[in-house]
Amino acid sequence: MKKISSILFNAWILLSGLLALLSAAFIFIYIVKNGFKAMTWEFILSNPAGIPLGSEGGILPAIIGSLLLMLISCVFASILAISTAVYIVFYCKSKRMESLAHVVIQCMAGVPSIILGLFGYTFMVANLKMGRSLISAGLTSGIMIFPFIQARVEKTFREFSSSMLFSSYALGTTKLYTLLRLVLPQSIKDIVSSVTLAGGFAMGAAAPIILTGAVIFAPIPKSLSSPVMALPFHLYILTGEGISTEKSYGTALVLILLLFIINSVSISLTFWRKEAAK
């Protein structure tokens, strides 16, 4: 009976993985098939044009805007996430405070992205008078990916060799010195991998930036206070308004390729770390 259960369980796992893989492959092939016709240098390197806007031209401002939004959100979220993880793992002495911090972080992870967009609009755009801008949208996206980075960085710190820590303390070094010279350098690949993966998540999200910084058309932003175009929002406009099906698939293909590159970098860093540890 146990053997039959084991076989059925393994078959279920295999079928589930195969179904997920085939679904992802079908979506990717379908988008490539429909979006490849729009993939020209003019489409990638020019501004949107035509009437309605976006029916002609390209998506260069949206590409640059998405990369800038990812950069701002990753910098903001990683500073908060690494600081929080360092405090919880190395400095927090109260189990109650640690539990409270985990509850807050888990609640933040469960907040829908559109709610974060409304928060960003109310707090940053309206109350702080930051306007619909690159910085408002980037910070809002950073709040969204903060729990993801924090959880992975905390896991990395907890898996750090305790013998190395005790050896460092035994030599009379301070906890801060140990963190800066031992823990962070040894964990940097995992941290960068986590931030990179979260950056891909931020780049593909449209809800947090709709109300905080994304617009139908804007040139490449020259300052943090400028509004910005972004690939997911541009795709939403092209599809929702029925402007151009071909351009929609082309935009989706560019976004998927960028996310593929970002995720590949993250996976490569993780694999590199595991190979180095052997």
pLDDT of residue 52: 82
Containing domain of residue 101, as a range? 38-42+59-277
Contacts from 107-112 at CB under 8 Å and sequence distance 24+? 108/143, 108/146, 108/147, 109/147, 109/148, 109/151, 112/207
* In a domain? residue 50: no
Name 63's Cβ contacts closer than 8 Å, sequence gap at least 6. 44, 231, 254, 258
* In a domain? residue 12: no
pLDDT of residue 175: 86
DSSP string for 24-87: HHHHHHHHHHHHGGG--HHHHHS-EETTTTTSEE--HHHHHHHHHHHHHHHHHHHHHHHHHHHI
* In a domain? residue 28: no
pLDDT of residue 269: 72
* In a domain? residue 5: no
pLDDT of residue 88: 94
* In a domain? residue 54: no
pLDDT of residue 153: 94
Number of domains observed in the structure of the chain: 1
Residue with tokens 């928060």: 119
- Mean pLDDT, each 10-residue run in order, the chain (278 residues): 78 90 90 87 88 85 94 95 94 90 92 92 92 94 95 92 84 86 88 90 91 90 91 90 87 91 80 59
Report the distance separating Cα 223 and Cα 40, nearest Å. Answer: 29
* In a domain? residue 7: no
Report the distance separating Cα 245 and Cα 233, nearest Å. Answer: 15
* In a domain? residue 24: no
We report the CATH number of the domain holding residue 65 as: 1.10.3720.10
Instruction: Quote the DSSP letter at residue 219.
Output: -
